[in-house]
Structure 1
């Protein structure tokens, strides 16, 4: 169940937006439509990777669309404090842009998006002295990211390309990538080779998504997804993800069941310290969820 703190944070984001935009049914010109949804999942995943350390998660989304094509999105989701260290256990996404075209044919979208995790950060060495064989230049990094977004869609086929315009993507810098590899991989060679490339960030990384929805019945949809992540300067963090799932609408809810899998190169980058154990966040997973729209 969500904590009062989570509900307060979610409502603080959702209510001002909903209040500022006239409801679709009440407007004479029908200029705005607002879609609010609440989703409970057995595992909160982003691009096939668990953000909740494979525990249940909650996500509140508010999307507003204007008849001109302008759109806006605000989301708040629960995340694991053991992954997003020193944070409040919340992740926020804010996006805006413009969509145009024929919904049944070619249609497109352009926009900007940001995701941030309040308070979440980690300290790691951004350099390595090979003469004394010691890490150097310990600095803090956060998990916040900013993106430029392009959507290219045809009917139910949806393609999306994101380019990272912030300094890092989810903390992927020399400290985050090389430091993690050196700390968690029994073989120090990959981590040392990473440090030998110098201090780098991940601005300019590319994220690709392709999805397709097929109506099996009036209330049942087959969902297919494939994604690719190419992290600039850190090929070790590249990976692909895939999922197949079913959505069924019943009793005013959307019931979802998805099989998610990913193909990562350096698995230590997707391990989280949980007490005395290391837990994988990139393994295959059957995820169930239920969504309610308001």
Structure 2
């Protein structure tokens, strides 16, 4: 889930992508707007990312905007509140993305790009567990590719960095996960991958039904891979508003059950539990 005040790594990535793609892309019809800027603000009762709650089961405020060029190149920014219980030291997630999307045919499209998940103030050194808190950034870069056919989209990606800073120090076998002492990281998590199939279908005017099923695989780890899924219904309202109701679940590996807070080392939560959440959004 973008308001940089200086040229960060993700900003440079996005700028480079846009520059190279503009040079290679053919011009569109003159009546097509050169730029569009879809933007939205939303409130969700729980921020679920690949089956796991990033907000410790609490509501999250979210914002997203994108600069879309007529060539198909784009750069985006998104932000969401998150919880220190799950992401040590972090209260905000900021996502910077850049890429290129276009169509192969009327019903077939593709999207290729890079996203950089950044957590201001977040670092594993702020974990409440002594001995498991060597300094390590949560920030993660991920390359992705999506292929779509009508209302179906297949998406896959691979981390170019460690997976949200998970390492043999902060997430080891025999100490990192209270729900399963045999689960944990055994080496570098760089190169972790995900695969997912998404569907979004308009069943009537203003009504959309969506679904998702995916698999997250953690490189050099045991007991941490997760299969996740989501079903939802969204209703468009006047003035750009919409409301949605979603059911989210996962294979819920034991490692994510009774996950002990990284903020206070005392409270716990089933991070990947089955849950229903709602959203209210405003598009601009």
Q: Distance in 1 between matches of 2:157 and 2:251?
A: 19
Map 1:27-176 onto structure 2 (within 5 A): 30-87=33-90, 89-102=91-104, 104-123=106-125, 139-166=134-161, 168-176=162-170
Answer whether contact 2:43 2:280 (CA < 8 A) is retained. yes
1:208 maps onto 2:195 in alignment: yes
Query: Can you list the C-alpha shifts for 1:165-206, whole angstroms capped at 9, x where unaligned?
Result: 11x111222123216x51543775x16xx57x5xx2111111
> Normalization by structure 2: what TM-score?
0.81
Answer whether contact 1:149 1:162 (CA < 8 A) is retained. yes
Structure 2 SS opposite 1:267: helix
Name whichever structure is richer in strand by fraction: 1
Name whichever structure is richer in helix by fraction: 1
* Shift of residue 99, structure 1, vs aligned partner: 0.8
- Higher mean C-alpha displacement, 258-267 vs 213-222: 258-267
User: Structure 1, unaligned stretches of length 5 or more?
Assistant: 1-8, 18-26, 126-134
Q: Distance in 1 between matches of 2:215 and 2:77?
A: 24
From 231, 254, 267, give the equivalent of 1:277. Answer: 267
Answer whether contact 1:237 1:269 (CA < 8 A) is retained. no
Q: Distance in 2 between matches of 1:187 and 1:112?
A: 33
User: Structure 2, unaligned stretches of length 5 or more?
Assistant: 12-29
Structure 1 SS opposite 2:172: helix
Change in Cα spacing, 1:12 to 1:158, as seen in structure 2 (3 Å) is same
> Normalization by structure 1: what TM-score?
0.78
Change in Cα spacing, 1:183 to 1:110, as seen in structure 2 (3 Å) is closer
Query: Can you list the C-alpha shifts for 1:205-244, whole angstroms capped at 9, x where unaligned?
Result: 1111211112111110110111110111013220010011
Structure 1 SS opposite 2:102: strand
Q: Distance in 2 between matches of 1:186 and 1:282?
A: 12
Change in Cα spacing, 1:140 to 1:67, as seen in structure 2 (3 Å) is same
Structure 2 SS opposite 1:204: coil
Q: Distance in 2 between matches of 1:137 and 1:108?
A: 41
CA RMSD, 1 decimal: 2.8
Q: Distance in 2 between matches of 1:73 and 1:291?
A: 18
Structure 2 SS opposite 1:140: coil
What count of residue pairs does the alignment treat as equivalent? 256
Map 1:222-241 onto structure 2 (within 5 A): 222-241=209-228
